[in-house]
Amino acid sequence: MKKLSILLILFAGVCSAQKFTSDEISLINKGDVNAALPIYQTTDAHQHKTLLNLSSEINPTDPNTAVLVKRMKESLLSTDGGVGIAAPQVGINRKVIWVQRFDKEGTPLEYFINPVIVWRSDLQNLGPEGDLSIPDFRDQFYRSKVIQFEYVDLKGQKYSEIVEGFTAVILQHEIDHLFGILISDKKEKEKNDSYKKVDAYQKSDLNKR
């Protein structure tokens, strides 16, 4: 009965994802399906509009999803030191991201389908961020130090992870893309926010480490 319930949940998740449009299928399969897709830039009006759109869930078992995932990885590998990419950055407003896992040995690249952040720590870190889609832009941003997120793989299997540090920052950045949030706009909206600086550890704790 438990296995049946899990299967029903996965089936419901697949059904809730909208089918690819003909334009999406055409773009995903354009040219060499083993090659990188061009990375959209904010300097192009049409591409900028795509980057600002909300992304919808994707059917993980659709063959076109596997092609998109593969080509997104090639797009990320084609960059000079990029550590993450989201589907809107290759022109597809769907919930797929790639992230470099600095929290794992060998810092592997991993993909996540329909990722959702279900919890964020109140404790935040301040650090530099750039974006593959925004030329010559880099600034300091506050991000939660620890997050818990859920996602599925290409088989529709669901996972939940707790991640911290720089990998958590990358995940938050890429998931922002799925909501049409760019760091350039984020900085503008947050310019009037104020933060109180606190020490993450008491001195007595540091002496014990």
Q: Which helix (H) or strand (E) holds 23?
A: helix 22-28
Over the stretch 81-128, which tens digit does the pLDDT of each residue have? 999 999 999 999 999 999 999 999 999 999 999 999 999 999 999 999
pTM: 0.85
Under 8 Å between Cβ of 87 and 73? no
Q: Is position 174 annotated as part of the catalytic site? A: yes
Residue 150: predicted pLDDT: 98
- Return the DSSP state at 38: P
Residue 161: exposure state from Cβ atoms within 10 A (0-12, 13-18, ≥19): middle
Rg over CA atoms, the chain: 18
Q: Which helix (H) or strand (E) holds 129?
A: strand 124-130
Tokens of 14: 């697949």
Positions of the chain with pLDDT lower than 50, given as ranges: 2-14, 195, 198-209
Nearest partner of 94 among 186, 9, 13, 19, judged by Cα:
19
Residue 174: predicted pLDDT: 98
Q: Which of 105, 164, 174, 190 is catalytic?
A: 174
Residue 193: predicted pLDDT: 61
Residue 10: predicted pLDDT: 46
